[in-house]
Structure 1
Amino acid sequence: MDFSMDNVTIFTHPLIQHKISILRDKRTGTNEFRALIEEIAMLMGFEALRDLPLQDVEVETPIETCMTPMIAGKKMAVVPILRAGLGMVNGILALVPSAKVGHIGLYRDEVTHEPHEYYCKLPSPIEQRTIVVTDPMLATGGSAVAAVDFIKQHGGRNIKFMAIIAAPEGLKRLQESHPDIQIYIGHLDRQLNENAYICPGLGDAGDRIFGTK
């Protein structure tokens, strides 16, 4: 499936790929799976946040006073898509502990696989923040597109989307629907199956993070 890569980063870092391989293993238990999701999110976030704006502030070191760069502007926002996106939040907060956290709740129709909103709460003023939307899996792209739609409707402008694994179909849909956002993918998988699951994938990320079936 063809799509432009102008606004897409697909990671090749060995640490990220190694950890994703452990996630895929059906023998990986809940505790380890949850920890790996956080670690991968932090590694991806290190790259995704490289363009955060800086401003020089005055700091007194043990030697002298100097001007030194710190993150500028309103604190960034992390917005997980419930529920699996919650698993990535602490990885981002480890990098930017002062970030605000919003939430978007979506459920997928079992027949059409299309998303429906049931909750949306964003930190204010959202239009002044760098917004990182998290969801471990970008499958059909429906939930991702809907989540970005909701954020834009509330005034969000500088939006980044992070997924640990993605199907080409979902990546293409998100990129075509929102060509102005930056998209970060841990691994691009082969395809969706007839049930809209990513192949080879890693199963249901929410169930594996929270230990539910």
Structure 2
Amino acid sequence: MTVTVTEVDHPIVNDALARMRSVETSNANFRAHLNRLGIILLAEATKDLPTRSQKITTPLTETQQQVLAEVPLVVPILRAGLGFVTSVHHVLDDADIGFVGVTRNETTFEPELYTDKLPADIGGRPVIIVDPMLATGGSMNHVIDLIANRQVTGAITVVCAIAAPEGIEAVRAHVNDRWNVRIVTGAIDSHLNEQAYIVPGLGDAGDRLFGEPRN
């Protein structure tokens, strides 16, 4: 049992991240570039999924083709994780999606759960957690615990646009050889600032995707 980290080095990943980081990028363009990025990250995250052979009839003949043995459960962490859903539908068009809502207490920086829409028993299905940013690791660890407590026996993969070293180490310390977790990210940034934001980062991903909430 271990935590492994893959930082995806790809020209489209780098270009999408550059545009997402820019303060001049609109909400609509931020969503579009996260979608570009998400497709490549998900392709990397799913490359080792188990497959099985299935008979396919083409316009010319019958043949055997490898297909997914089991479709993963994809878990966006609300609200920013919703930004990956379009990418998920492009790569895994029939994937089930289970939502978890976690907000960060801005005083303590601790995660607070406000909704849980996961299956009661996940079993052997692979699970992919999606969230644009892995910052402190608190929310991610909370979601990993929720998933692990649903009788999960398959692989757990985390997909994020950017990650802070502190967040990666927090996940590694929390998992502590209990499960196999793979982190797939577009970039490992420098550090967290005093407000627990990733630097250089891309700001508040939820606000960049959907606009600032209005009271």
In which range does the TM-score fall when normalised by the shorter chain?
A: over 0.9
Task: Name the CA shift for 1:118/1:10 in 2 (closer, same or farther; >3 Å).
Answer: same
Q: In structure 1, what is the equivalent of residue 189 of structure 2?
A: 189
The number of aligned residues is: 208
Range with bigger deviation, 27-36 or 157-166: 157-166
SS in 2 for 1:174: helix
Aligned counterparts of 1:174 and 1:14: Cα–Cα separation in 2: 27
Aligned to 1:115: 111
- Equivalent position SS for 2:123: helix
| TM-score between both structures, scaled by the size of structure 2 | 0.92
Give the corresponding residue for 2:6. 9
1:96 aligns with 2:89: no
- Whether 2:68 is the aligned partner of 1:71: answer yes
Alpha-carbon distance in 2 for matches of 1:91, 1:184: 15
Q: TM-score, normalised by structure 1?
A: 0.93
Q: Among residues 113, 118, 124, which one is paired with 1:128 in the alignment?
A: 124
Partner of 1:84: 80
Of the structure 1 ranges 58-67 and 95-104, higher mean CA displacement relative to structure 2 is found in 58-67
Unpaired stretches in structure 1, ≥5 consecutive residues:
none
Displacement of 1:118:
1.3
Given that 1:100 and 1:123 are in contact with CA atoms closer than 8 Å, whether structure 2 keeps it comes out as no
Distance 1:23 1:171, change over 3 A: same
| Partner SS state of residue 16, structure 1 | helix
Contact 1:77–1:123 at 8 Å: present in 2 too? no
Deviates more, 1:115-124 or 1:179-188: 115-124
- Pairwise CA RMSD of aligned residues? 1.5
Q: Secondary structure at 1:35's aligned position in 2?
A: helix
Q: Which amino acid aligns with 1:161?
A: V
**Secondary structure class of the residue paired with 1:79:** strand
Contact persistence 1:59–1:67 (CA under 8 A) = yes
Tell me whether 77-86 or 179-188 shows the greater mean CA deviation: 179-188
Task: Determine the structure 2 residue equivalent to 1:48.
Answer: 45
Q: 1:134 is aligned with what amino acid?
A: V
Match of 2:204 in 1: 204
Q: Deviations 1:7-49 (Å, cap 9, x if unpaired)?
A: 1101111110111011000000010001111111111011110
Q: Spell out, residue by residue over 1:44-101, the C-alpha distance to the aligned partner (whole angstroms, 9 max, x if none).
A: 011110011111111112222122111113x211100000011012102201101000
Name whichever of 18-27 and 170-179 sits farther off: 170-179
Partner of 2:147 in structure 1?
151
Q: Which runs of 5+ in 2 are unaligned?
A: none
Is residue 22 from structure 1 mapped to residue 46 from structure 2 by the alignment? no
Q: Distance in 1 between matches of 2:151 and 2:31?
A: 32
